[in-house]
Amino acid sequence: MRLSARARAMSPSPTMAIDAKTKQMMAEGIDVVNFSVGEPDFDTPEHIKQAGIKAITEGQTKYTPAAGTLTLRKAICEKLLKDNGLAYKPEQIVVSNGAKQSLYNAFQVLLDPGDEVIIQAPYWVSYPEMVKLAGGVPVVIETNESNGFKMTPDMIRPKLTPRTRAINLNSPSNPTGAVYTRQELEALANFAVEHDLMIVTDEMYEKLVYGGVQHISIASFSAEVKARTITVNGMSKAFAMTGWRMGYTASETIYAKAMADLQSQSTSGASSISQVAATQALVGPQEPIEVMRQEFDRRRQHMMERINRIPGWKVAVAPEGAFYLFPSVKDVFGKTIRGRTINTSDDLAAVILEEARVAVVPGSGFGAPDFIRFSYATSMERIEAGLDRIESLMQEAH
């Protein structure tokens, strides 16, 4: 028995692994507070669900064009123009089974073996793996609290080689919640033009920004920048639609055509039913997004305050977007809890899960082993319960 080199080189998503262990404990009847999830706790808004049901009863249950229905792609074009100042034609949009597949497609059509992609750490767990699956080489730029978890051209320059093909961006960021300002993005855009690099920008959390912060789409700066950018977005986070699997890209036609062809030979495109629901999400009332955003903001502030009171834990940079807190826990390393020595964030996450029955994600999977990721896509009651448990467990650390 033998697996391909590609399969052997692959590591499973660590967030999915924690989630599986948590769900297994829950299935055994253990009451676990789950701060590891990367999905909104809210239900999909009713009008979107109804659109999906109607799609089934009306028989919209057949193959669609591989790139998605024209109706949905037109709705996406209107959204991009209105929200992001981006003018695209429907043939430049490719709808996929979640933004995760959109990102996968993007790297597949951009990279030749050995091509390098600039990725900042802490990163969303899947970027390096997706780059590797496309034969590319992830080149990681370390960021930390002192630079607000953001990279600058000066940090990238020493890592440039003749093989550098693209810069990967994720603002607002999962896991840090960092949001790049217009100026910071402009500097990166100019750098990409200067060095003839592509930009793959993951804007999944654009709707979830706090404290008056504004999300900017890097492709909106100029035609020159837009021509080298693949913008990735989707329905999962903004509309609480993770299970519907709806994501999309906007790019120059040459890349869109290649991604659509890739889909035509691999998945045949996304679910027809989900596409009807996604269209309704985009053209229907947008109020549910704001209701969720405000609730996330309330939890963000409360959770941050409580985490910062735990000795050795520190959210040094307040997140301005997404729904995660990413405290540093390195001051806990070397301490002992219930006879177990904590040397890494993996150790700490394991002790918290087993002894306090709270699921969190260690930073190692995000390329940031001194940190732990908390999701606040959980009700305020569960947030209180989980933090009570962690607080009392951490009092035993010595």
Ligand X SMILES: *Cc1c(COP(=O)(O)O)cnc(C)c1O
> Cβ closer to ligand X: 184 or 202?
202
Q: Which is nearer to ligand X, 101 or 272 (CB)?
A: 101
Closest residue to ligand X: CB criterion: 98
Cα 276 to Cα 52, 58, 60, 101, 238: the distances in Å are 6, 11, 8, 19, 17
Least distance in Å: CB of 280 to ligand X? 17
Judged by the rule CB under 6 A, the positions of this chain that interact with ligand X are: 38, 98-100, 124, 170, 174, 202, 204, 234, 236-237, 242, 247
Residues 263, 265, 266: CA angle, nearest 5 degrees: 65
Q: How far is the CB of 9 from ligand X (least distance, A)?
A: 21
Phi, psi of 364 (to 5 degrees): -55, -40
Closest to ligand X by CB, 16 or 254: 16
Q: Which is nearer to ligand X, 247 or 386 (CB)?
A: 247
CB of 126 to ligand X, least distance (A): 7
End-to-end CA distance of the chain: 48
Assess whether the previous peptide bond of 122 is cis (omega < 30° from 0): yes
By beta-carbon proximity to ligand X, the closer residue of 38 and 122 is 38
- Least Å distance, CB 143 to ligand X, is 15
The minimum distance between CB 242 and ligand X, in angstroms, equals 5
β-bridge partners, 324 = 375
Which DSSP letter does residue 112 get? P
The single residue listed with the structure tokens 């177990």 is: 340
Q: How far apart are CA 297 and CA 262, in angstroms?
A: 39
Q: Which is nearer to ligand X, 22 or 171 (CB)?
A: 171
How big is the CA angle at 312 (ends 308 and 316), to the nearest 5 degrees? 45
Which residues on adjacent β-strands are paired with residue 248? 95, 233
- State both tokens at 390: 């962690």
CB of 234 to ligand X, least distance (A): 4
